[in-house]
Amino acid sequence: MKTTRNVLSLALVLVLVLLPAFSAGTKEAAQGTVTLKLEQFSGSEATLSGEALRGMIAEFEKQNPTIKVELQTIGYDDYFTQLQSKVVGGNAADVFELNYENFVAYASEGALADVTKLLGDTSGFNKTALDAFNYQGVQYGVPNSFSNVVLFYNKALFDQANLAYPTSDWTWKDVEVASKKIMSLGKNIWGFYRPLTFHEFYKGAAQNGGSLMNAERTAFTVNLPQNIEAVSIMAGWQNDSKIMPTDADMAGMGDWDLFKSGRLGMLVTGIWAFGDFTANCPFEWDIAIEPGNVQKATHFFSNSYVVSETSKHPAEAAKLAVFLAGSKEAAKLRVEASWELPPVTYPEIIDSYLSITPPENREAVFASLDYLVTPPVSIQQAEMQAIIESYLGQILSGKQSAKAALDACQKELEAKISL
Amino acid sequence: MWHGLLGHASGGLMSIQGRRGIRVALPYLLPSLLGALLFAILPIIISLLLSVTNWSGMSRIRLTDGFLKFVAEHFVGLENTKAILADSEFWRALSHNLYFVVLYLPLMLVLSMICALIINAPNRGANVYRVVYYLPVLTSWVAGSLIWKWLLSPVYGPINNFLAIIGIEGPLWLQSEVWAMPSIVLASIWKDMGFYAMILLGGLKSINTEYYEAARIDGASKAQMFARITLPLLSSVLFYVSMLSMINAFQLFPQVMVMTKDGNAGPNGATMVMVERIYKYAFRYGKMGYAAAYSWILFVIIMAFTYIQKRGEKRWVNYDV
């Protein structure tokens, strides 16, 4: 009998010890102060942007002495895996960051709080960016930054090859011609880099007059003739004209590193490279609006702050989100760190953004906004992208023709992805 | 009557020794039992329940509050299993697993056998060898994978540089569709060889040396002794090693995730394997129910293979040590 009692009491102790570990929710600090958890992937700790973010938080805490912010930055590669387990367990941070592509999935799963009424004055926000985080009429978040992709070019290589610098009138043809001249400068010098990824493909399709979905986003149109032509040309940069290095040519080197090493004439990449290139390019460089084929099309990337549906302090959380995303103070810090574009319309902020060089042609960033195409979005975003990229790989490796691959891709998307 | 007799006999035994034994043992076992219950048995039951739902894995659920109702509301029956088996991607992933097993298992058995024989031979360096062979086992898979990624790098890697010296142009290894899986096999053998060599060494040590002495007196050669004494007496250990390594081979995962391009599961999906698919569906594609069903299919496959091996055991395993 005694042992039974021992067993029972031991079991009870263990249960009591383990139980708190399973109870969800954040612990409250001292009375009166609210502690908010903030998690994000953009702005790594060690760089200028991390510093800017800490500055923004310090300013927010100064203005709101009763709110404390606990920041955690997690690398992009691991961010969404850990976010998912936290959301499922009910332990998501009060405010967390989502990119545009993942926003729809989380909004549709009911993981986000409706912040429509908590945002206050949103007139300072850029409307396109703000509307991107409105799902079925409900505002679930605020854009904290947006950015696009431009054509970066190495002025030194253009000078050496006696070439005129790229202009906003350039098309794919001009890129190919210039690339060949740049490559004739020497071995291991490449003309152009623009990988055939999902993001480059949907934009490339648009630049050739095509699209991956119909306008209402109710059906896939992946195998349109314009798309097939676009993808053939893009794969040809690596396989036919060879103006672009293959993975094997790169031998593990990243595209940014290749550009910084001075061996790449032109690179299509995001304006978030400004800070790194300014600090690490030992040559002059500039930017231009990205060339299209039959028309121009540019990327729209946007990240947002959303409030977790499980947050105990949604009002304070929304206040933090709006401050970090849209306040003048935060936007100023963001601009000074060359950390993407603040999604705001304050003229003085925009002016100060434009006055920073390099690149000299910073206006191209804003000029590019005229040609924005938003990516195809589905609740099964990651799966959709993986399916499309698997077929792009088939085309690149020459295993399937562009037409056969995109026909098969269209079929698989129709079978597996619900729109 | 038969039943009554049996019941009586076993019941009687239980009451004298069993029950008291359990009562004494339980407090000591409780911590690890609780661990097994919480972190193994409970998740297994939950995954079985989830495998018949269409849960995305992105919305909140609670075990303590309406879990069964949640399962009932999201119930899709065997839809997940049917969809997986109908998808050519599943068969492709499975074929890659089988390809891995075919390359890995024989090579592993031969090489770990050689390692075990080297360590077992009466020489001075045996302890050094033992440590050297076992070191990779202790290395974490992520660190090991990164080392191999560098070793196999087509341009900067020492392996291709060495091949270039002797006039061979090395393949692209992990970036090549043909060589990606063999590269993974290479790294896996490096990592696991020491572990299986230790198990085989245990088997070698347990063989009575009198057999060898008798054989030597009869004039048997070394090769004959190996074939007629060592192998038959080691067959039970070899069987255990092959079963264990086959189960491990089906669960191939970390090396694939670290060494080959993550987004596409290797060059054009060349290293797309089952556990990698399960991970992607669960944590990237928002299809937790589908992933749970996938993992149960993998479980059934491993069970089937183990059963087949076990059937073969009688034919070639010799237990008369």
pTM, whole model, 2 decimals? 0.80
Nearest-Cα distance to chain A for B246, in Å, is 29
**Which chain B residues touch A251 with a CB distance below 8 Å?**
153-156
Q: What pLDDT is stored for residue A15 in this prediction?
A: 56
N-term to C-term CA, chain A: 64
B134's tokens: 């076992």
* pLDDT tens digits along A346-383: 888 888 888 888 899 999 998 888 898 888 888 888 88
Q: How many domains does chain B have?
A: 1
**CA separation (Å) from B245 to A16, A56, A235, A269, B115?**
40, 53, 41, 45, 16
Other CB atoms within 10 A of residue A199 CB: 16
Of the candidates A10, A105, A383, which has its C-beta nearest B30's C-beta? A10
Answer whether residue B101 is part of any domain: yes
Paired strand residues for A202: none
Q: What's the rounded Cα separation, in Å, for the pair B176 and B178? A: 5
> Which CATH number belongs to the domain containing residue B245 in this structure?
1.10.3720.10
A82 lies within 8 A of chain B by CB = no
SS (H, E, C) chain B: CHHHHHHHHHHHHHHHHHHHHHHHHHHHHHHHHHHHHHHHHHHHHHHHHHCCECCCCCCCCCCCCCHHHHHHHCECCCHHHHHHHHCHHHHHHHHHHHHHHHHHHHHHHHHHHHHHHHHHCCCCCHHHHHHHHHHHHHCCHHHHHHHHHHHCCCCCCHHHHHHHHCCCCCCCHHHCCCCHHHHHHHHHHHHHHHHHHHHHHHHHHCCCHHHHHHHHHCCCCHHHHHHHHHHHHHHHHHHHHHHHHHHHHHCCCHHHHHHCCCCCCCHHHCCCCHHHHHHHHHHCCCCHHHHHHHHHHHHHHHHHHHHHHHHHHHHHCCCCC
Specify the higher pLDDT residue, B197 or A1: B197
Q: Would you put residue B13 in left (φ > 0), alpha (ψ -120 to 50) or beta? A: alpha
Q: By the 8 A CB rule, do A124 and A344 touch?
A: yes
Please, where are the H alpha helices in A216-287? 225-239, 247-250, 255-260, 274-280
B306's tokens: 């183990």
Q: By the 8 A CB rule, do B177 and B183 touch?
A: no
Per-residue pLDDT 10s for chain B (321 aa) are 344 434 444 444 445 566 778 888 888 889 999 999 999 999 999 999 999 999 988 888 888 888 888 899 999 999 999 999 999 999 999 999 999 999 999 999 999 999 999 888 877 777 888 888 899 999 999 999 999 999 998 877 899 989 999 988 888 888 888 999 999 999 999 999 999 999 999 999 998 889 999 999 998 888 999 998 999 899 889 988 988 888 988 999 999 988 886 666 788 889 999 999 999 999 888 899 999 999 999 999 999 999 988 888 777 777 665
Answer whether residue B225 is part of any domain: yes
Do the Cβ atoms of A3 and B27 come within 8 Å? Answer: yes
Fold for A149-300+374-416, please state it: D-Maltodextrin-Binding Protein; domain 2 (3.40.190)
Nearest-Cα distance to chain B for A342, in Å, is 29
Domain limits, CATH 3.40.190.10, in chain A? 4-145+303-345, 149-300+374-416
**Which chain A residues touch B30 with a CB distance below 8 Å?**
7, 10-11, 14
The answer on pLDDT for A55 being more than 70 is yes
Of the candidates B26, B60, B172, which has its C-beta nearest A88's C-beta? B60
- φ, ψ at A292 (rounded to 5°): -110, -175
- In 3D space, the residue among A238, A267, A222, A279 whose CA is nearest the CA of residue A412 turns out to be A222
Chain A residue closest in CA terms to B157:
A251
Q: What pLDDT is stored for residue B43 in this prediction?
A: 93
- Which residues of B touch chain A, with CB atoms under 8 Å apart? 23-24, 26-27, 30-31, 34, 38, 56-62, 153-156, 172, 175, 177, 263-264, 267-269, 280-281, 283-287
**CA separation (Å) from B175 to A253, A400, A402, B102, B249?**
13, 18, 21, 21, 22
Q: What's the rounded Cα separation, in Å, for the pair A413 and B159? A: 41
Fold for A4-145+303-345, please state it: D-Maltodextrin-Binding Protein; domain 2 (3.40.190)
Answer whether residue B107 is part of any domain: yes
Q: What pLDDT is stored for residue A28 in this prediction?
A: 47
* pLDDT tens digits along A6-31: 655 656 555 555 554 544 444 444 56
A10 lies within 8 A of chain B by CB = yes
Q: What pLDDT is stored for residue B320 in this prediction?
A: 62
Of the candidates A88, A251, A310, which has its C-beta nearest B155's C-beta? A251
Q: How much is the average pLDDT of A292-304? A: 91
Range of the domain at B296: 81-316
Of the candidates A88, A89, A251, which has its C-beta nearest B156's C-beta? A251
A257's tokens: 């590193």
**Which chain A residues touch B269 with a CB distance below 8 Å?**
390, 393
Chain B residue closest in CA terms to A111:
B59
Nearest-Cα distance to chain A for B60, in Å, is 4
Chain B residue closest in CA terms to A92:
B60
**% of residues, chain A, pLDDT over 90:** 55
A225 lies within 8 A of chain B by CB = no
Answer whether residue B105 is part of any domain: yes
Q: What is the ipTM of this complex?
A: 0.75
Q: What pLDDT is stored for residue B10 in this prediction?
A: 45
Of the candidates B27, B62, B285, which has its C-beta nearest A380's C-beta? B285
N-term to C-term CA, chain B: 42
Of the candidates B61, B269, B286, which has its C-beta nearest A105's C-beta? B286
